[in-house]
Chain A
Amino acid sequence: MSFQIKKQSTKYDVCIVGSGAGGGMAAKLLADAGFKIALLEAGPDFDPANKEQRTQLRWPWESPRRGASTTRPFGDFDMAYGGWELEGEPYTQNANTEFAWFRSRMLGGRTNHWGRISLRFGPLDFKRKDFDGKGDNWPIVYEDVKPYYDKVDKLIGVFGTKENIPNEPDGFFLPPPKPRLHELYIKKGANKAGVPMIPSRLSILTKPVNKERGACFFCNQCSRSCMAYADFSSSSVLVKPAVKTGNVDLYVNAMVREVLTNGEGEATGVSYIDKDDLRDYEIKAKVVILAASACSSARILLNSKSAQHPNGLANSSGVVGKYLHDSTGSSRMGFIPQLVDRERYNEDGVGGMHLYTPWWLNDSKDLGFTRGYHIEYWGGMSMPAYGFGFNTQALKEITGDTSRNAYGTGLKKDVKKFYGATFGMAGRGESIPRKENYCEIDSNTVDKYGIPVLKFNYSWSDEEVKQARHMQDTFEEVMHNMGAVPLGDKPGKEKNYGLENPGKIIHEVGTTRMGKDPKSSVVNEFNQAHDVPNLFVMDGGPFVSQADKNPTWTILALAWRATDYLTEQLKKGNL
């Protein structure tokens, strides 16, 4: 085998690395504008309608492990090729760090199985420092992003309701689905406890937004990715139409190693490894967009070292990889006695909750922590998979039933009786970004392609722990008020109140943060690298702070805003 590097003769207008939310958005808009694009994706091609890949509408017994999570962390039918660990692609940790990094390697990245919770950031979320003095403000305000949220709503589709809540901006909403029974029970309890519950906002088509995508047929399986394209996946909704324009060359199984530069501090393209033949290739382009996910893009930049960029590319500030932050998370399960022996009907609904709780205490000053959280809910008569029916005895004990049903027909009946009576709540909160939480290159470790890997350093502060305590108290209060029984023990101080390890909520952002000052930020407000004008980062990396909202809708809106700016610059001949 020869190790000569293969160079492509075509020079593209734009080379995009990563086909997730940010990369897909850039590809779609730039292809529509007529630019020649190379879209590089480290994973294989994917289409939920391809019957060899499809998992939607499959039954648990089609899997010999009944959907257990042995090879896919969220179970056999979940549509993520990857997970917390990738074979041959490790990451390492500093002492006392337990960061979990979820990677999906496939066309569309993590948008194939994500929760579709599509929340806008509110005006406060861009300026939190003004109110609590912590972290940093964004260099932009809500009004800068609003027109792009509007466009994303209309192009992609999100259902919801207009609520007029100050920090939960309304958008262009498709009609919401009616709540499920357990959600009505939770709502009753929540409202008694002073906790609001409103229709959720999910990017699922309860009505089509164009003729290319079908309407939702209520199978509750968006995490398996929809063969009717009725949910938002970057692969089906953005990349597919982008490729159709004829302006996009899609390179799958193309693992980008670094961004290439010339002597003048400009990006000239990227170098990648073709995973099929394990050879190195180069792609040349006028502009490079990194959208490989926050940590992967930081890794590529840090690995793009040269004499001119000894700390890595676009890193004169030294903050590439710094300010890494994830949402906080803590959860609790419960049991609704009124739902024992419930009547059967198809309760699937959409692939996610129909109601949720937005943060309701923005005006409280005495909580002991300053950033909020929202609450997500699950429950109902969902489809059994591996793990179903474990520990039925515990529920029986709760109901005070002392019959001897440890086995036999009695046990069988008990399982049937308790089906659909358990539920759960999960808080997802804003953490405060800190410079001391970061990823860097571990110079002692390479992956199987010889690319140096990331090493994480991350710890929670008291703010996040106190927030988790508040979540747990709220969960109990709501359960108490709805007549439900909390299951298991309430996680106390010794368990950090159930606060999940960083990374676990999979909203990691901040590693290439935006700002006005090139000394303390990596990109400007248009996601353009301060140091390298023809280099952009369009994933969650540029986030200054991750609100108590999930990040993807904002990744999409900012990618659109950045792409508009980029298009203008290209047309003016500035790049």
Chain B
Amino acid sequence: MLSLGIDSGSTTTKGILLDDQGIREKLIIKTSSSPRKSLYEVYDTFWSDAVGCTVATGYGRSLLKKANRKITEITCHARGSRYFEPNCTGVIDIGGQDCKAIALDEKGNVTDFLMNDKCAAGTGRFMDVMMGILEADLEDLDDFVINAKAISISSMCTVFAESEIISLLANDIPKGNIALGVIHTIAERTATFYGRLNLCGPVFFSGGLSKSKIFCRVLEEYLGQSIKTDVLGQYTGAVGAALIGYESVE
């Protein structure tokens, strides 16, 4: 049997198709102005008679009427993280517009969670906007900050940080230093946020920023512990959704 998991996030929509052998197919697309459309685009790509269960997660999850189940991103991220890192007891996810921290027990059940969804600071969007001002691509983040020295950015609000960066640029501060400063700001924020859960075990880090080696290294510095990531980290929610679907049918 195949199981389909779709994660409808604010920036991207992800789909995972899996069976008892593991992940079979994956797809990531930008979430358009109509999240429903993006959801169905992923759904139509993967759906066939062989799919025994479809689980939707993420902000837009209720839009997929054809889903067998709708489960929150907290539960799905927890399940997905365990797939990538079977021993983790903590999860950090930096999404496009929010940031989550999840605590798990030994069996992988969620015991506590925090969501920062009120403010763009400390999310992927913050990094995105700042890189935009620096006229650089988020994908090239690691190259962009090579040999840079972090400059401290004091504004936490996206709008104020924007003007702070513009004045730094006016003062001829190298762009790489500014970008590294932004990385430090987000990483420090994230670590403090995660610290509220008071956990000590292995932590899995997911979301778009987990692809950046520098970001991971800085985050580890603030956390005071090493973190686990996976090349498919961005799919954590979708993987979790597909697994929950699979397990509920089996």
Please determine whether chains A and B interact with each other in the same assembly. Answer: no
Chain A interface residues (CB < 8 Å from chain B): none
